[in-house]
A and B are shown apart, each in its own frame.
Chain A
Amino acid sequence: MKHRTFFWFILPTLSAMILFIALPIVSVFIQSLFVQHEQVLIVSESCGPFGCKETTSIDTEATAKLREEQPLGRFNGLGTYVNRSHLAFVEVGEAWRNTETFGEFWSQIFNLPFYRALIFTLTYTAVVTPLVIVLGLAIAVGVNNLPKMLKGPSIFISLLPFLVTPLVGSLILFWMVDSDGVIGATMQRVFNDPSLSLKASTALTWTMLIVYGVWHTLPFSFITFYAGLQTVPEDTMEAAMIDGATKWQRMIHVVVPHLAPLMSFVTLMLLMDNFRVFEPIVSFKAEAHATSLSWIIYNDLRESGNPLYGSAGATSMMTIIGVVILLTPVLIRTWRDFNRKAH
């Protein structure tokens, strides 16, 4: 294709991407470099139905004047990125100097909000992604080998978890694992421990979130692999059969290599999605035991009354960087495959 033609073809997509993806990212980055103006506080007296009290309030006129002079706020450089809520260089350095054992150091790191969230996010991504790929492939092969009559209904049933809105799906599971719910009560009975609670233990909460994650994303990898299985070349399979390959050998040496490009695609999508895990944490009210990077952003924008845009922006940028780091190996692999095929 001529470069000119190519340019005109790509122009609509490219401009949409610049407008809706690139520019917002630039804007978020710029916001993350600034913090709010100094708030001018004045001592005042406030009265209400419950009596009077000395208190402070903000001198809005003085603050508005500061804001007019510098609409973006005060420039803080990368200060927000390295403060306690994020990379916490000072706190990490102190922990390193003041602790004797690696375990102690680790527990101090785990006490910092960003690292705590990062550890859960990475664990979630690292466990859910491979499980979803392997189980998705297994279900796809299973459904593919079913008699024709059963195929339709089983595809439909396998897709169901994907049709449920994440928030609703996790709420349903949340109620089921409640100590009065069907799963929670059954577990109490099985282990004969009336105070056993899935919501009160960190390990069980993590397990619950991961099980939910697998359940919810499984249909995506299943349906992609199922579509891929329809394109496995018949003659290669027949040739393998004639060569005496067992079912398992055909699976490993014919089907899996054939599906390899699809696997890269599914891995890519899953890594991106899992790294941004968010809804189940809110629905499961799991904040006491597990937080994720996306949850921190949400919390910064919501909890304190006045949104901390700088903090949220910094976490967003680091999430993007994290996704890029995770995707790099997969992207390099895809690029190599592409080049091999092109020549």
Chain B
Amino acid sequence: MFLRNLATATAFAGLLGSAAYAADCGPEGQSIRVLASDFPAIHAVTEAAEANCGAAAAEFSVNHTTEARQIMNAALTPNPAEYTSVILANATLTQLMNDGLVRPLNDLVEKYSDNIKPHQLITIDGNVMAVAFMANSQHLFARKDILEKAGVDRIPATYEEVLDAAEKIRAAGIMEHPIVMNLQTGWNVGEVFNMIYLGHGGEFFKPGSAEPAINNEKGIATLNVMKVLTEYAHPDHLTHASNETQGLWEAGQAALGIMWGSRGAPILDDEGSSEEVTSNTVLSAAPTVAGGSIPAATLWWDGISIASNVSDEEAEATFAALVSGLTPEMVEANNDDAVWLLEGFKPGPAAAGVAATAQGGAQPYPMIPQMGLLHAALGSELTDFLKGDETAEQALSDVEAAYRTSAKEAGFLE
């Protein structure tokens, strides 16, 4: 589905050509205020929107901040809200929907459908809550030169093969710690659990309820895989997030990495690394685990949402402006900044990993209201196990206990 859409999108781009057309910016003289995360792909979208519709609006301001997730609920609660739109992702949409702070977009999507394809719509019970424009997920990065040297003839496709390759690299004396992963205590280590657990086919909650359901065989198997991986990972792995793992990779100190797709382009570009590393880095699907059929990863999208607590005119103008930025020209100019879900995207080597992971049928990050609480509990309780201080069973029961405590406080459990 994923690639077919991309293919039609590319064909379309050719038809449209470079014919400049005036963007439909909706009601004029409105105030457009956007809150967004801070990375190049989102800058590209908001800049294109401002170029198209900035003049028609009374105000066009964008706050790009890495703290967007922390402030979005507070900023959208007052009426009128501080921002008319938030550029968000799976988990943050849930976070805003929990408080009813974003509005259904069905009418707006119908009216401004030029740059929107059906697969971009995030619908919940028939209501379009967001319009996605890019995808992201974790996947495997591999150094083919080092694998060859260690006698591994193909890119590992399963975690078992990853571990086998790591052992061979170590045994050949090439690297003591060939694996890099984002295992920093907190959100990152929780996310590693999530993806490997989903790879095992695990469910986080009992169906239809907020009761946790991770303390089971799949949970234990997941932790055991993580434990073996850490034995081949850099000793400081509990402090490693994306910046550190990217750094180690670019410094040529790792041969197998589980990193975010959005790090693909910065790693493959000619900055911060040597020719030896960039020319030998191969991006491929996230590995499967324990004989499972789907890549062990969580799929993410980034998209546009519109605040509830703003006037309908402001909402419309904001939506029209942001959607006007999702053009093939914008994609063409910023092709390698993201895995775009838009017309005109030509998947390059930097997008190969995410595309293969999505194609392999990996699960999206769960859009469940209480997922944030479970993720936080995983983040703080799993490190004791990885440090070797407690058993997998104990760690999982700690996670469930910590989750229950906070879920009771948040009103999800009695």
A associates with B: yes
Residues of B within 8 A of A51 (CB): 1, 364
Is the pair B412, A303 in contact by a Cβ cutoff of 8 Å? Answer: no
Q: State the Cβ distance, B346 to closest chain A Cβ, in Å.
A: 18
Q: Is B153 an interface residue (CB 8 A)?
A: no
Residues of B within 8 A of A56 (CB): 205, 208-210, 368-369
- Bitwise interface map of A from 32 to 59 toward B, beta carbon under 8 Å scored 1, else 0: 0001111101011111111101111110
Which of A39, A45, A50, A113 interacts with B402 by CB under 8 Å? A113
Residues of A within 8 A of B235 (CB): 179, 195, 197, 199-200
Q: Is A308 an interface residue (CB 8 A)?
A: yes
Is the pair A55, B366 in contact by a Cβ cutoff of 8 Å? Answer: yes
| In the complex with contacts A48-B364, A50-B364, A35-B409 CB distance below 8 A | yes
Is the pair B405, A57 in contact by a Cβ cutoff of 8 Å? Answer: no
Is the pair A46, B409 in contact by a Cβ cutoff of 8 Å? Answer: no
Is the pair B367, A200 in contact by a Cβ cutoff of 8 Å? Answer: no
Q: State the Cβ distance, A173 to closest chain B Cβ, in Å.
A: 13
Is the pair A43, B208 in contact by a Cβ cutoff of 8 Å? Answer: yes
| In the complex with contacts A49-B135, A287-B380, A57-B409 CB distance below 8 A | no
Residues of B within 8 A of A199 (CB): 235-236, 238-239
Which of B176, B187, B207 interacts with A303 by CB under 8 Å? B187
Is the pair A85, B238 in contact by a Cβ cutoff of 8 Å? Answer: no
| In the complex with contacts A35-B409, A43-B208, A50-B299, A111-B398 CB distance below 8 A | yes
Interchain Cβ contacts within 8 Å, total number: 183
Which of A35, A49, A61, A306 interacts with B119 by CB under 8 Å? A49
Within 8 A of A (CB), among B138-153: none
Q: Is B347 an interface residue (CB 8 A)?
A: no
Residues of B within 8 A of A48 (CB): 90, 121-123, 132, 301, 364
Which of A83, A200, A289 interacts with B405 by CB under 8 Å? A83
Q: State the Cβ distance, A296 to closest chain B Cβ, in Å.
A: 9
Residues of B within 8 A of A178 (CB): 236
Residue from A44, A49, A299 whose CB has the most chain B CB atoms within 10 Å:
A49
Q: State the Cβ distance, A106 to closest chain B Cβ, in Å.
A: 13
Residues of B within 8 A of A58 (CB): 97-98, 100, 369
Is the pair A285, B410 in contact by a Cβ cutoff of 8 Å? Answer: no
Is the pair B367, A308 in contact by a Cβ cutoff of 8 Å? Answer: no
Q: Is A276 an interface residue (CB 8 A)?
A: no
- Bitwise interface map of A from 194 to 209 toward B, beta carbon under 8 Å scored 1, else 0: 1101011010000000
Within 8 A of B (CB), among A9-52: 35-39, 41, 43-51
Q: Is B185 an interface residue (CB 8 A)?
A: yes
Which of B123, B238, B398 interacts with A288 by CB under 8 Å? B238
Residues of B within 8 A of A47 (CB): 121-124
Q: State the Cβ distance, B154 to closest chain A Cβ, in Å.
A: 27
Which of B95, B124, B132, B239 interacts with A305 by CB under 8 Å? B95
Give the CA-CA distance A247 to B118 in the complex, in Å.
86
Is the pair B387, A288 in contact by a Cβ cutoff of 8 Å? Answer: yes
Q: State the Cβ distance, A15 to closest chain B Cβ, in Å.
A: 28
- Bitwise interface map of B from 357 to 368 toward A, beta carbon under 8 Å scored 1, else 0: 010001110111
Give the CA-CA distance A3 to B410 in the complex, in Å.
49
Residue from A46, A64, A299 whose CB has the most chain B CB atoms within 10 Å:
A46
Q: Is B252 an interface residue (CB 8 A)?
A: no
**A304, closest chain B residue (CB):** B376
- Bitwise interface map of B from 380 to 399 toward A, beta carbon under 8 Å scored 1, else 0: 10011001001000100010
- Show the binding face of B for A, using Cβ within 8 Å: 1-2, 69-70, 73, 90-92, 94-95, 97-100, 119-125, 132, 135, 176-177, 184-187, 205, 207-210, 234-236, 238-239, 251, 299, 301, 341, 358, 362-364, 366-370, 372-373, 375-376, 379-380, 383-384, 387, 390, 394, 398, 401-402, 404-406, 408-412, 414
